[in-house]
Chain A
Amino acid sequence: MNIINNLENNSKEFPNKIAIIFEDQKISYKELYDEVKKKSLKINNFDKEVISLVSENSISFITMYLGIIKSGRTVHIIPPEISETNFNNQIKSAKSQTIICSENVFDKILKFTKNNIPILKISELEKQLESKENNFKENQIAHLIFTSGTTSTPKGAGITHNMLNFTTKNIIDVLGYLISDIDILPLPLYHSFGLGCIYTSLTIGSTIILHKDASNIENLLNSIKKYHATTFSAIPATLIKILKFENFDLTNCFSNIRLIITNSTAIPKTTVQKYKEILKKGNLATYYGLTEASRSTFMIFEKNSSRDESVGKSAPGVSIKIDNEEIWIKGKNVISKYWNNTIADESIKNGWLKTGDVGFLDDENYLFLKGRKDDIINIGGEKVLPIEIEEVVKQIPDVIDAVAFGIKNEIFGQVIKLNIVKSNESNLDKVKILIHCMKNLEKFKIPNKIDFVEEIPKTSYGKVKRFMLK
């Protein structure tokens, strides 16, 4: 069963149930399925294989996405804040033949587009003629996402319907999603985390309260209370911001929440422990995955669990191994090859995907992440993971954020540089930081250069853009 079949069944079984609420708009399961069907009939009129979709979060994004996959085409999902260079690289690599975008990004995309690819606003699709119904095969690629942001060279990952069905079933089975759930969703839908939440809710038949983004914490907390939400999906940065939001009685606000799902970008142990206290009848959970190997592990932080820094055990039907400190994944959630990229394909061997992440499995096969293999700093032969230094530096009061990375050095090959964001009016200086490091780190891990910066460049998803660090 795929998402379209499930959506159709849900629209027959409980036609009037609200599927999605977004700002002042509501759409029932029947209305949603009818809209998806209508859009797919119009898309069927296009003689195109790959259709690029650029839109911020909205109900139109969801109906457009589902309409395209229902028509048997591949959706190339583009983040609305994409740069011009990245946009043109992606369009070229995807071999996209039509771009559909929201009203808000139309002018920007029109300016970016360098060739004659037709660009269409979602609202203009109404004018298109309808064609006969089309079906798709489960082994077809449903969507194409380029993994960009944390590296300088984006790679396209084409995700098939089979992969999505497999992952959605795992999410529902492991995390126990229910038809009665009301999910607060402020995640970007152009990312596999947000998209996976849509698949989960529409498959099980629950209700999504979609937000444009997670920038307004007060709005999110009000939404949780207003809709008596039972589940909440957010990145670690949002969860940390919520803890600093002092105007709310968080225990009361989260009293109906039975599950908060976050993902594998570093979630501090202290944050996990605070949510364990706040959630009286629920749990915080996380997962580890890549766009090309979605939801490969799951971790539910039980109240008595002692593994608050783990990303959990491998998902059902997924295998994980560690080879030379690096994490490899195999399973039906893993792509068989990248999109027109034979160099990137070298990281897939006999079904095993070499992730580039460094980690270890403990004696009960719980996975722990240590960082990116590419980020390892080699100081005269001594190898250091940035996270080891960052964690120590973040213990210093007044350090808001810190990132460690390697810079060239004539003697050692590389030495460690540290960029630090400190709190306003703090008198923290480089000497205090160095002395703290000397007390708490081995001598080859002491930073050689420290800069105080206004902010650390990060993707909208909270991952450090290491290639931008200087």
Chain B
Amino acid sequence: MIRFIYYPLIQAHYLYNEKEVKDEIKNIFYDVFQNINENNFVWDKQQKDYENWDSFTQLNLITLSEAKFNISLTLDESIEIKSANELFECIKVHLI
């Protein structure tokens, strides 16, 4: 079943499905990690298993997510994100 999420950046009252949000998150990872692509992207891969996911990378993931979805994450939320999946869950809360 496709779930719809409110997605304010594209246009007001636009309902955006989960797949589209997930695609956008994948794109964020491709832009931030320039060695990640469709072939090696893993939703559950943890921060510690990435070679170059340091505090600056974390900051850039959050910054680009906030810009794409026109949301603002709290400091606690920003710190807790440790995988693509966790980023998706966090963004979802802000879009619903």
* Contact, CB under 8 Å: A434 / B56: no
Q: Is the pair A431, B55 in contact by a Cβ cutoff of 8 Å? A: no
Contacting residues, chain A, for B36 (C-beta < 8 A): none
Whether B55 lies near A380 (C-beta < 8 A) is yes
Interchain nearest-CB distance for A399 vs B (Å): 16
Does A431 contact B60, Cβ atoms closer than 8 Å? no
- B85 on the A face (CB < 8 A): no
B67 contacts which chain A residues (CB < 8 A)? 429-431, 434, 450
B60–A443 touching, CB < 8 Å: yes
Identify B55's interface contact among A411, A429, A434, CB under 8 A.
Answer: A411
Is B64 a contact partner of A431 (Cβ separation < 8 A)? yes
Asked if A431 and B59 sit within 8 Å, CB to CB, the answer is no
| A36-66 residues at the B interface, CB under 8 angstroms | none
Determine if A410 is an interface residue (Cβ-Cβ < 8 Å).
yes
Residues of the B chain whose Cβ atoms lie less than 8 Å from the Cβ of A431: 64, 67-68
Min C-beta distance of A431 to chain B, whole Å: 5
In the assembled complex, the Cα of A396 lies from the Cα of B69 at a distance in Å of 22
When A410-B75, A431-B68, A450-B67 are in contact, do A415 and B59 touch as well, CB less than 8 Å?
yes
Q: Are B59 and A434 in contact (CB under 8 A)?
A: no
Which single member of B34, B60, B79 contacts A446 (CB below 8 Å)?
A: B60
Residue numbers in A under 8 Å from B56 (CB-CB): 379-380, 382, 443-444, 446
Chain B residues with CB under 8 Å of A444's CB are: 56
A380 surroundings in chain B (CB, below 8 A): 55-56
- Enumerate chain A residues within 8 angstroms of B18, measured Cβ to Cβ: none
A447 interface residue per 8 A CB criterion: yes
Contact present for A448 and B63 (CB under 8 Å): yes
Chain A residues lying within 8 Å of B75, measured Cβ to Cβ, are 410-411
Distance (whole angstroms) from the CB of A440 to the closest CB of chain B: 12
- Further pairs besides A412-B55, A431-B68: 6, Cβ < 8 Å: A380-B55, A435-B31, A438-B34, A443-B57, A444-B56, A446-B60
